[in-house]
A and B are shown apart, each in its own frame.
Chain A
């Protein structure tokens, strides 16, 4: 062991050159430490609150679950397509269960939006110096979060109220519908004074004061559904704030609100902007066209990509439109041709030499033909490129608000129309007819039932039909083609099983 010192030297040398550095070197993503350094980064961080909002229109998500359970739209199984384990049939029949995939997507989209708002609120509050832009964003985030919670309340009722990012419980439990209602109301009222009021490029697509009032109006309109206590006058007051702002007016051309370039609409109050260059994440695109149009039907509108031949109008709903009503044009029916007049053909189970003719009628929910059902084209699909429409989606529209005010006034008047209510409804309805005076309502003809029907024709496909039917007790009690009376507990959707599995403190909604 004479050489022991030598060995020690060698081992020491090895130990010297050895490196124990295990720090994480991050290259193509940004860590929290080096983010929020500049105004630009702060504003970029706010982006997800708005890009999350694009999930609001998902056909396999919030929009689709609301629409396909209403009397307005249906996604029938067509030949070998669209069985999807019976999910869409169950939605239409009010037989959905707690493991429907699209209901879970809706939940995840809503709470992803809420969590993003909570996270950004926490991160922005920590900024030592808050610029004016940051202060504006902070109040917008509160408003957006309230909007998401309103959506959660409307769909799922007893959802967990989580309002802090950092102090949140790991597994929060349900709150009651009343608690959620109160939270949404308080948050909106608190945010309103700080929200911007002007309608300009700066506020386009952003949560401004009028978006907050419109959300409040929707909340109050269904207050009785959510809490058992009606708030009709509060709804009228919220809508009056919007009317009195003088910033909105009805478009003379109904469809101009839904055009590809609909940014100029003075009727659209709060929009979600889409663009086929910039807003291209799957699961957050505006794809009403693909889900509805026949595989071959895109050639009628010079769309770049073929449709998927899915949803269509519920026949009785489509038939509720007057022949003279220009709004009826939102439904595509009849033979489909290219812009140059060439006939388009079926290409699934129907003979491929037969012309593609959309019928209003749908012969079966289980086995419809490829051509059956009127297709919704309220938003213009012409020349659509890529995978998303570039039209901006109107969440709240002035016409909708005027109608809601009319309805609230009728409710305050024992369910009978007042002249003010009739005037408001006729004001919105006028542009739908060449000779409007022949189609005007009177205090006699504008019944509550007619009010619901007229609202349907005005805002079909805008995602509000279930909300309206709930208020008229028509969602569960109403019957149509494939829907018989359903139990009251189906007014709200079940909390998805996946969420219950992940959170032991969540309990299922009653009845499910």
Chain B
């Protein structure tokens, strides 16, 4: 089938494609790997054994290539639903004993379509296998349409369910971890079930505007990934470079993640059910002094530092505070999906339930998600209607990360409870609270409901012109409650009787988009033109109230009015509403000459209400081209390539991810002032207004090479990009006077990100029993801040990131033109004096440690990122390992700044401080900044596919066992070197965090 035909009836062909693809996917799943629980394994292992014992009929035949007629050796031939099978010999001959002549044979071979042949009583069966579509024909979603991978001119990565990370995944981002070069999905909050991931594509290209990629779900920009069932995802395509992302002009700067969900197919109803059960263990503990070590330290210091020894009170208990705040959690995830349909109507409906316990006490999340995809075609398939409905409800119990700091510093000789059975607390002690009490004696519930619904209609006006319109609403509502009971530490400290807070809000996105698409092929020339309009309106509103002093703790946060603070005028209350609009006109043209030369050009003209009245509109053009040399028939070396495609693209994208009213001079309430005997509210400007605010734009140049050898068994991509962000939106220092505030949000600086991405996909072994594939990617990223000044604003550098109390005024990072953002700035450690005092490099030789002695001592943004996935399938078994690494960055070990210092006694300290010579105030310096290089064996999965087709109506079954975060290889001395790499203060491993965990998951999938 030639490419022109494929394009001709985009919609219909897409439908066929889905059928074809689904079939293929299921087929591969059958070969795919499986894990087994004892219950399932034993009876199932018996089935093939008994089947084999009954074998009594013999079938012979020859296997040939259906296109060339040549015989095919090594073709795998199985009796369907069993493990009985053989391979064809050197001349394509085969011989197989089958249990019954009513069975069906399944013949499969790499590069050919798998074929099922009912035996129908025959004993001689010749098999003709048809060649499989060459790699490169799979469709890639590129925003407002899709193209064959072979025709791509921009940088787009695709991930399909076969490649997804397995395990107890609730956030679809987790599926992508380590899979795509250029895309880092960072776990910044350890094992907190209520926390998400930090997602960065090709690094941070903005200072203050949004740095997260745009998520587009089934064509609707700005969707919530956490509202969809991960099992519903058909594919995820990532637009990486500027030329690909420019069609989403305004929000394309940080890349675009396009998610396509599964749809139903005509035919009998299919039921899929999957369940996962998991538990977690702490992956690395914080080594603080045990009670015994604390006591021996006290004894040891009684001669050298008697005053310190005296202050170390031995309360007689031995408490491992880390143990006390953690538990062995149990979590489960269930997913049920129903799909099917008739010729003109198809559907897929699914229900998803996840109940996750965190490893810290009281940390939990419970989620329900329901999705419906409904397709209706009419007018002889010329009209296609798609309805998509989704609802997701999540109840989260986040915990206070400060508990971990309390765990570290709490005296291990203290018991958890005092003699009255209450939590042992010291009222009045500074920031010293029983961490168990902190976790247990709080009620904290965040409720979140997400609704999304959209309807699209596509009409084929002619065979080569289609118009489409889609309208949708996404609504996110939240209701949070927080209660501190009267017996909790902060309430007892303040002498109040319980404190309650409630907060509620709603954010709505309304979308309308319409497109018109024209496709034509004339001889070797193929054209595709697209034009469209997009309107989105965003509203964000909220309400919160708090009250204190309740007559009973029984109300929790459910009877806010009954506290006394409201009447005393001390209760808080607030509400807000914000709104913004985004309007875009866009067009794109694709041209393809003879499958050799490809050209794409697009432009988006977009306006955002967030900018100044003269600067609301921006133009975001892009152009890219590709040359597939393997189709040139040049002979020689190129004959060996299935694909050898050079790509180059240039695109301009924008960023408007800022709050909506910055250009305006707005007044907000600012406290009260004394007027005529009473306090009356005062109003003052909310910020320095900047009516000249405009788009932040990014220009990106991308060149790449895609290649593939040996029918796709060896292939890869190499890419280089350089992205320059201009007019960086940021708060710039301005003089006061004359300005009201010390900073103005403006477009000033520029920044350059560049990098090289390399990915390799290989299938080293592929035969009837074995299939081993290895996917590897590595990338290098470099960031440089070019300038922070223009004729109006001057910023030489800025210090950011306070270290914290007690005792440290210092900043942690400095950004400055000529350097990468994320540079860590502080004193350079040179040793200790005899008295244990710090010695730092006195860079200006003035004999004192002043800010001038601070210098660059690291950078929190990694230089190299890598991911490796190795999957082995042997018959029904499969085994895969995913590893991830980041290199070349430094981490501020926040915990060590305070607790690797014996001066912090009598509070507890790290074990490593036990023999430390240090005796000085906490000072942030290079000795607390460590290399953060790491490799994580992030996911290990062992699976077993059940050979039970047509048994008890089960079509497919698979069991698997997964270990997440299995191993960590690093020289970093802290708990987890995987910390935030985005923003202006990357590489900060906080003392207030959530423990990293290792997750063990047992799960199964069944389809009927």
List chain A positions with a Cβ less than 8 A from chain B: 3, 6-7, 10-11, 14-15, 17-32, 35, 41, 43-48, 50-51, 54, 77, 79-87, 95, 97, 99, 101, 107-108, 111-112, 114-116, 118-119, 160, 162, 164-165, 168-172, 201-202, 204-206, 273, 275-281, 284, 295-296, 298-299, 304-306, 308-309, 347-353, 366, 386, 497-499, 501-506
Does B616 interact with chain A (Cβ within 8 Å)?
yes
Q: Are A281 and B670 in contact (CB under 8 A)?
A: yes
Q: Are B680 and A44 in contact (CB under 8 A)?
A: yes
User: Shortest Cβ distance from A10 into chain B, in angstroms?
Assistant: 6
User: Shortest Cβ distance from A294 into chain B, in angstroms?
Assistant: 8
The residues of B that contact A47 with a CB separation of less than 8 Å are 670-673, 675, 680-684
Instruction: Please judge, given known A-B contacts A6-B461, A29-B661, whether A85 and B681 are in contact too, CB under 8 Å.
Output: no
The residues of A that contact B583 with a CB separation of less than 8 Å are 18-22
Partner pick for A81 among B307, B430, B577, CB 8 A cutoff: B430
Does B242 interact with chain A (Cβ within 8 Å)?
no
Chain A residue at minimum C-beta to C-beta distance from B735 = A503
Could you tell me the distance between the alpha carbons of A273 and B671 in the complex, rounded to whole angstroms?
Answer: 12
Contacts of B403-459 to chain A: CB distance below 8 A? 426, 428-430
The residues of B that contact A305 with a CB separation of less than 8 Å are 493-494
The residues of B that contact A172 with a CB separation of less than 8 Å are 735, 737-738
User: Shortest Cβ distance from A511 into chain B, in angstroms?
Assistant: 14
User: Shortest Cβ distance from A207 into chain B, in angstroms?
Assistant: 12
The residues of B that contact A284 with a CB separation of less than 8 Å are 671
User: Shortest Cβ distance from B735 into chain A, in angstroms?
Assistant: 4
Contact with A along B488-506 (1 / 0, CB 8 A): 0000011110000000000
Q: Are A46 and B740 in contact (CB under 8 A)?
A: no
Contacts of B636-688 to chain A: CB distance below 8 A? 660-661, 663-668, 670-677, 679-686
Partner pick for A111 among B512, B661, B737, CB 8 A cutoff: B737
Partner pick for B429 among A95, A295, A499, CB 8 A cutoff: A295
Extra A-B contacts (20), CB below 8 Å, given A43-B680, A45-B683, A499-B736: A10-B461, A14-B533, A22-B607, A22-B609, A24-B609, A31-B664, A35-B683, A54-B671, A81-B806, A83-B806, A85-B923, A112-B740, A115-B740, A160-B737, A169-B738, A172-B737, A296-B429, A386-B570, A503-B734, A503-B735
Instruction: Please judge, given known A-B contacts A201-B677, A279-B671, whether A114 and B684 are in contact too, CB under 8 Å.
Output: no
Question: 5 closest A-B pairs (Cβ-Cβ)?
Answer: A47-B682, A168-B738, A502-B733, A162-B737, A503-B735
Q: List 27 A-B contacts (CB under 8 A).
A: A3-B462, A7-B465, A10-B467, A11-B516, A14-B516, A21-B581, A22-B608, A28-B576, A29-B666, A30-B668, A31-B664, A47-B671, A47-B680, A47-B683, A85-B809, A86-B921, A99-B850, A101-B809, A116-B684, A304-B494, A308-B430, A347-B430, A348-B311, A350-B307, A351-B311, A353-B313, A505-B735
The residues of B that contact A169 with a CB separation of less than 8 Å are 738
Does B967 interact with chain A (Cβ within 8 Å)?
no
Q: Are A80 and B577 in contact (CB under 8 A)?
A: no
Q: Are A306 and B808 in contact (CB under 8 A)?
A: no
The residues of A that contact B607 with a CB separation of less than 8 Å are 20, 22
The residues of B that contact A112 with a CB separation of less than 8 Å are 736, 740-741
Partner pick for A7 among B461, B541, B679, CB 8 A cutoff: B461
Q: Are B736 and A115 in contact (CB under 8 A)?
A: yes
Could you tell me the distance between the alpha carbons of A395 and B904 in the complex, rounded to whole angstroms?
Answer: 40
Q: Are A22 and B616 in contact (CB under 8 A)?
A: yes
Could you tell me the distance between the alpha carbons of A160 and B682 in the complex, rounded to whole angstroms?
Answer: 27
Q: Are B738 and A170 in contact (CB under 8 A)?
A: yes
The residues of A that contact B159 with a CB separation of less than 8 Å are none
Could you tell me the distance between the alpha carbons of A452 and B71 in the complex, rounded to whole angstroms?
Answer: 112
Partner pick for B685 among A77, A119, A351, CB 8 A cutoff: A119
The residues of B that contact A366 with a CB separation of less than 8 Å are 921
Could you tell me the distance between the alpha carbons of A116 and B673 in the complex, rounded to whole angstroms?
Answer: 14
Q: Are A48 and B736 in contact (CB under 8 A)?
A: no
The residues of B that contact A114 with a CB separation of less than 8 Å are 737
Q: Are B577 and A27 in contact (CB under 8 A)?
A: yes
Partner pick for B661 among A26, A44, A351, A502, CB 8 A cutoff: A26
The residues of B that contact A46 with a CB separation of less than 8 Å are 673, 682
Does B136 interact with chain A (Cβ within 8 Å)?
no
Could you tell me the distance between the alpha carbons of A31 and B661 in the complex, rounded to whole angstroms?
Answer: 10
The residues of B that contact A499 with a CB separation of less than 8 Å are 735-736
Q: Are B806 and A502 in contact (CB under 8 A)?
A: no
Partner pick for B516 among A7, A22, A83, A502, CB 8 A cutoff: A7
Could you tell me the distance between the alpha carbons of A309 and B580 in the complex, rounded to whole angstroms?
Answer: 48
Q: Are B665 and A501 in contact (CB under 8 A)?
A: no
Q: Are B430 and A348 in contact (CB under 8 A)?
A: yes
Could you tell me the distance between the alpha carbons of A19 and B794 in the complex, rounded to whole angstroms?
Answer: 39
Contacts of B848-864 to chain A: CB distance below 8 A? 848-851
Could you tell me the distance between the alpha carbons of A321 and B898 in the complex, rounded to whole angstroms?
Answer: 40
Q: Is the interface of A mostly helix, strand, loop or mixed?
A: loop
Could you tell me the distance between the alpha carbons of A110 and B512 in the complex, rounded to whole angstroms?
Answer: 50
Q: Quick one: which of B310, B569, B661 has the most chain A CB within 10 A?
A: B661
User: Shortest Cβ distance from A39 into chain B, in angstroms?
Assistant: 12
Does B575 interact with chain A (Cβ within 8 Å)?
yes
The residues of B that contact A108 with a CB separation of less than 8 Å are 736, 742
Q: Are A277 and B569 in contact (CB under 8 A)?
A: yes
The residues of B that contact A502 with a CB separation of less than 8 Å are 733-736, 742, 794-795
Could you tell me the distance between the alpha carbons of A280 and B792 in the complex, rounded to whole angstroms?
Answer: 36
User: Shortest Cβ distance from B436 into chain A, in angstroms?
Assistant: 20
Does B43 interact with chain A (Cβ within 8 Å)?
no
User: Shortest Cβ distance from A139 into chain B, in angstroms?
Assistant: 16
The residues of A that contact B660 with a CB separation of less than 8 Å are 24
Partner pick for B428 among A83, A201, A296, CB 8 A cutoff: A296
Q: Quick one: which of A14, A80, A118, A273 has the most chain B CB within 10 A?
A: A80
Q: Are A82 and B806 in contact (CB under 8 A)?
A: yes
Could you tell me the distance between the alpha carbons of A353 and B310 in the complex, rounded to whole angstroms?
Answer: 10
User: Shortest Cβ distance from A486 into chain B, in angstroms?
Assistant: 14
The residues of B that contact A50 with a CB separation of less than 8 Å are 673-674, 682
Q: Are A44 and B733 in contact (CB under 8 A)?
A: no
Instruction: Please judge, given known A-B contacts A84-B809, A171-B735, A306-B493, whether A51 and B666 are in contact too, CB under 8 Å.
Output: no
Does B906 interact with chain A (Cβ within 8 Å)?
yes
Could you tell me the distance between the alpha carbons of A386 and B568 in the complex, rounded to whole angstroms?
Answer: 12
User: Shortest Cβ distance from A179 into chain B, in angstroms?
Assistant: 14
Q: Are B666 and A30 in contact (CB under 8 A)?
A: yes
User: Shortest Cβ distance from A145 into chain B, in angstroms?
Assistant: 11
Q: Are A350 and B311 in contact (CB under 8 A)?
A: yes
The residues of A that contact B516 with a CB separation of less than 8 Å are 7, 10-11, 14
Partner pick for A48 among B578, B670, B795, B851, CB 8 A cutoff: B670
Q: Quick one: which of B683, B850, B904, B905 has the most chain A CB within 10 A?
A: B683
Could you tell me the distance between the alpha carbons of A54 and B738 in the complex, rounded to whole angstroms?
Answer: 21
Contacts of B895-947 to chain A: CB distance below 8 A? 898, 903-907, 921-923
Does B12 interact with chain A (Cβ within 8 Å)?
no
Q: Are B670 and A304 in contact (CB under 8 A)?
A: no
Q: Are A498 and B664 in contact (CB under 8 A)?
A: no
The residues of B that contact A501 with a CB separation of less than 8 Å are 733, 794-798
The residues of A that contact B737 with a CB separation of less than 8 Å are 111, 114-115, 118, 160, 162, 168, 172
The residues of A that contact B307 with a CB separation of less than 8 Å are 349-350
The residues of B that contact A84 with a CB separation of less than 8 Å are 807-809
Contact with A along B573-599 (1 / 0, CB 8 A): 001111111010000000000000000
User: Shortest Cβ distance from A247 into chain B, in angstroms?
Assistant: 18
Could you tell me the distance between the alpha carbons of A172 and B672 in the complex, rounded to whole angstroms?
Answer: 31
User: Shortest Cβ distance from A412 into chain B, in angstroms?
Assistant: 37
Q: Are B670 and A295 in contact (CB under 8 A)?
A: no
Contact with A along B802-842 (1 / 0, CB 8 A): 00001111100000000000000000000000000000000
User: Shortest Cβ distance from A402 into chain B, in angstroms?
Assistant: 26
User: Shortest Cβ distance from B680 into chain A, in angstroms?
Assistant: 7
The residues of A that contact B670 with a CB separation of less than 8 Å are 47-48, 51, 281
Partner pick for A99 among B467, B610, B741, B851, CB 8 A cutoff: B851
User: Shortest Cβ distance from B749 into chain A, in angstroms?
Assistant: 14
Instruction: Please judge, given known A-B contacts A44-B682, A284-B671, whether A26 and B430 are in contact too, CB under 8 Å.
Output: no
Instruction: Please judge, given known A-B contacts A23-B609, A118-B738, whether A15 and B533 are in contact too, CB under 8 Å.
Output: yes
